[in-house]
């Protein structure tokens, strides 16, 4: 049997109360509106997605502008307000600078004393070296004098011993002859 030949029997109930009739009308309206709401839901989803694609770069740019321009100004304003309100006195920076300058001056004076002392030491060492060389040369002359006198005495002694030996040899040759 074909499906087109079959008849469908639909029972229609007619509500008897006012609320029942309203309920029935609402059901029929809901059935008619359901496809349109599905289409509206899909269209709204597409539009929301398009809006998100459009808004995301705008929000990113706004965030960077706030970070780069507005935040430093607000921070500066808050810092100035905090300084105005702060009850502690502002510390002077003169003492550290004065201490630094005094230290540099003391260092310069110390360096000058060091250089002067080094120059005096160098001069003293030169004088000491010349004194030492003079002393060494005097000692060398004394040693040379002693050595020459000792060598003269030794030469005299050797020569006298040689003369004595020569005399003895002459005497011995005379006796043998």
In tens, the pLDDT along 18-57 reads 888 888 888 888 888 888 988 999 999 999 999 999 999 9
Residue 115 CA to residue 118 CA, distance in Å, equals 5
Structure-model confidence comparison of residues 94 and 62, the more confident one: 62
Measuring CA to CA, how many Å separate 44 from each of 33, 35, 39, 56, 57? Answer: 16, 14, 8, 18, 21
3-state helix, strand, coil in the chain (%, to 5): 85, 0, 15
Residues in CB range of 23: below 8 A, 6 or more apart: 15
Q: What is the pLDDT of residues 73-107, one digit of tens each?
A: 989 999 988 888 877 766 777 788 888 889 999 99
């Amino acid at each position: 049997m074909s499906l087109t030949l079959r008849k469908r029997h639909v029972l229609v109930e007619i509500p008897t109360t006012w609320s029942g009739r309203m309920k029935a009308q609402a059901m029929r309206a809901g059935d008619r509106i359901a496809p349109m709401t599905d289409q509206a839901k899909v269209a709204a989803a597409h539009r929301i997605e398009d809006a998100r694609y459009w808004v995301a770069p705008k929000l990113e740019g706004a965030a960077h502008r706030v970070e780069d321009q507005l935040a430093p100004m607000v921070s500066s304003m808050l810092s100035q307000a905090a300084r105005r309100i702060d009850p502690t006195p502002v510390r002077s920076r003169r003492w550290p600078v004065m201490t630094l300058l005094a230290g540099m001056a003391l260092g310069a004076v110390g360096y000058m004393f060091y250089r002067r002392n080094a120059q005096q030491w160098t001069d003293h060492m030169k004088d000491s070296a010349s004194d030492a060389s003079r002393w060494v040369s005097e000692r060398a002359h004394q040693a040379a004098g002693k050595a020459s006198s000792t060598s003269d005495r030794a030469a005299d002694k050797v020569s006298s011993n040689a003369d004595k030996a020569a005399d003895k040899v002459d005497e011995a040759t005379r006796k043998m002859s």
